[in-house]
Amino acid sequence: MLWFIVKRILWSVPTMVLISIATFIIIQLPPGDYVTAYIAELEETGESITAVEAAELRKSFGLDRPLVVQYWDWISRIVLRGDFGLSLDWKLPVSDLLWDRIALTLMISTLSLLLTWAIAIPIGVYAATRQYSVFDYVFTVLGFLGRGIPDFLLALVLMWLGFAYFNFHVGGLYSPGMAEAPWSLAKFLDLLGHLWVPVVVLATGGAAGLLRVMRANMLEELGKPYVETAYAQGMGEREVVWRYPVRVALNPFFSTVGWALPALISGDVITAVVLNLPTTGPLLLRALLNQDMYMAGGFILILSIFTIIGTLLSDILLTLTDPRIRYA
């Protein structure tokens, strides 16, 4: 078991190296570079710069050096000093920009993930144990509706409802004036007052899909002979269902919980933009649009590392919960 974990961790090292190289190649792929994008932006506002000035700019950003050197420069700073370089667009260190938003992103995403599970698992289990009941049909319809309605639309509707009928301030995570205020109880309560909209929006969409998966997993497990064995031992229905098939039906969740980690960071970009949330999603979108290469590269790298850590976590969780894997 321990050896398994150590082996997995060791394997993740070369994986990360390969990912960092791939990341760097990806951010170099689009034609042009930041300076080209910058010139285009200037031209839109009627200004222009000469070729010499452009070369000067490239040199000052280090964009004129060979790719290998640029890569080495970039990665060694990240590994040795945690320095992701300077955002060309914001003229600020990438790490400052990122970490600022990651905490909030994690909070929103974790809450919505927990809410997703809290909604989806009990309903999925119940719908499966009472297949084709009124309850099952109602939640089948609601599930498909939830799946079908885009998150951003739901966000808009909730915002409108909150604004028009309850006179809430919606959009963003703080009321005007609170965002810059130092942390206090009032600010925290204000945050909670805003947080529910994105959390509900993100959770309903996810729960609708998860509900169907849970129901299908449970239906498959409920038909297995060991469930009948459990009844024949004299257990009541609730104990049988939660102790046996739910345990097994959750395994696919454990094995995908790792994917939730990178999803937490990238978040639902569109929803975040619509709700004007200061999370990482809109930041990534903007970095990609502006060819802000160090920003985008830092982002992709962090996402990839989260993916690797998440997969590792999944593997470990799965070995803990499923003896068939532990002793295979």
Min dist CB 14 to another protein, Å, is: 13
Of residues 224 through 283, those in contact with another protein by CB under 8 A are 224-226, 228-237, 244, 247-248
Q: Residue written as tokens 């000067």?
A: 56
Check binding of 321 to another protein (CB under 8 A). Answer: yes
Smaller CB separation from another protein, 160 or 231? 231
- Candidates 34-42, 109-117, 147-155, 220-228 — which segment interacts with another protein by CB under 8 A? 220-228
Check binding of 324 to another protein (CB under 8 A). Answer: yes
# residues contacting another protein (CB under 8 A): 21
Of residues 180 through 219, those in contact with another protein by CB under 8 A are none
Min dist CB 223 to another protein, Å, is: 10
Smaller CB separation from another protein, 82 or 234? 234
- Candidates 83-91, 164-172, 256-264, 320-328 — which segment interacts with another protein by CB under 8 A? 320-328
Asked if 285 and 138 count as a contact pair (C-beta separation under 8 A), the reply is no
Min dist CB 20 to another protein, Å, is: 24
User: Residue 224 corresponds to which tokens in the numbers above?
Assistant: 């297995």
CA distance readout (Å), 270 to 1, 9, 77, 244:
41, 34, 32, 39
Asked if 136 and 161 count as a contact pair (C-beta separation under 8 A), the reply is no
Min dist CB 234 to another protein, Å, is: 4
Asked if 298 and 95 count as a contact pair (C-beta separation under 8 A), the reply is yes
User: Residue 197 corresponds to which tokens in the numbers above?
Assistant: 């909209």
Q: Is the dihedral of CA 5, 252, 129, 134 positive or negative?
A: positive
Asked if 306 and 25 count as a contact pair (C-beta separation under 8 A), the reply is no
Smaller CB separation from another protein, 31 or 225? 225
User: Residue 255 corresponds to which tokens in the numbers above?
Assistant: 């094995």
Smaller CB separation from another protein, 177 or 234? 234
How does DSSP classify residue 224? S
Q: How many Cβ atoms sit within 10 Å of the Cβ of residue 25? A: 11
Q: For binding to another protein (CB under 8 A), which residues are involved?
A: 224-226, 228-237, 244, 247-248, 321-324, 327
